[in-house]
Structure 1
Amino acid sequence: MKSVNLQRTESLLMELVPEALSTLKDSRINSLSITDVDCKNGKYDATVYYDGTDYTKEEHKVLNSLLNKANGHIKSYCLNATGWYKCPNFKFKADDTLEHSMKMEALFEQIKSKKED
């Protein structure tokens, strides 16, 4: 179970990271949908998950490199907005939970159809 402070930090970063991305000029990342933020080691490391269902693997690589380049801007935006003296190191990953759940649903449908036969 995560502490209340860690959950607060995650929810605050869920709001601030999309705001920071929207201030960027690059249209490939300024409208990315952030689905989750997972903080580790207090405020020292944070994994930011973005909706990656519409992108190919090559596009994921490009997006990750663009997001890593924008990491400094995102950190400074979060520091200015919160007044923190330290901001987490952001790692960006595509959120593929929707794809996994769709595969699971398809498997359950196959099992259901085989049981009915």
Structure 2
Amino acid sequence: MKSINLQRTESLLMELVPEALSTLKDSRINTLAITEIDCKNGKYDATVYYDGSDYTKQEKQVLNSLLSKASGHIKTYCLNATGWYKCPNFKFKADDTLEKSMKMEALFDQIKSKKQD
């Protein structure tokens, strides 16, 4: 179970990271949908998950590279908006939970159709 402070930090970052991305000029990442932020070690590390369902593996690698280059700007934006003295180190990953859930739904449908036969 996460502490209240850690959940509050994640919630605040869920608002600030998309705002920071929207200020960038690169159209590939300024409209990217952030699905979840997972903080670890207090506020020292944060994994930012973005919706990667529309991208190929190569595009995800390019996005990860662009996002890691933009992490300095995102940190600065978060520090200015919150007044924190320390901002987490951001790691970016494509969120594939939607794809996994769709595969599971397809499997359940197959099982259901086999039971009906």
For the aligned pair, the TM-score class normalised by the smaller chain equals over 0.9
Query: Following TM superposition, by how much is the alpha carbon of 1:6 offset from its aligned partner in structure 2, in angstroms?
Result: 0.3
Q: How does 1:92-111 map to 2 (within 5 A)?
A: 92-111=92-111
Identity fraction in percent: 87
Amino acid at match of 1:27: S
**Structure 2 residue matching 1:38: 3-state secondary structure:** strand
1:47-85, CA deviations, whole angstroms, 9 ceiling, x for partnerless residues?
000000100000000000000000100000000000000
Query: Following TM superposition, by how much is the alpha carbon of 1:45 offset from its aligned partner in structure 2, in angstroms?
Result: 0.3
In structure 1, distance between residues paired with 2:89 and 2:27: 23
1:85-108, CA deviations, whole angstroms, 9 ceiling, x for partnerless residues?
000000000000000000000000
**Structure 2 residue matching 1:70: 3-state secondary structure:** helix
Amino acid at match of 1:18: P
In structure 2, distance between residues paired with 1:7 and 1:71: 21
In structure 2, distance between residues paired with 1:85 and 1:2: 22
Partner of 2:77: 77
Query: Following TM superposition, by how much is the alpha carbon of 1:39 offset from its aligned partner in structure 2, in angstroms?
Result: 0.2
In the alignment, structure 1 segments of 5+ residues that lack a partner are none
Amino acid at match of 1:6: L
Number of equivalences: 117
Amino acid at match of 2:107: L
Q: How does 1:1-117 map to 2 (within 5 A)?
A: 1-117=1-117
CA RMSD of aligned residues (A): 0.3
In structure 2, distance between residues paired with 1:49 and 1:12: 15
**TM-score normalized with structure 1 length:** 0.99
In the alignment, structure 2 segments of 5+ residues that lack a partner are none
**TM-score normalized with structure 2 length:** 0.99
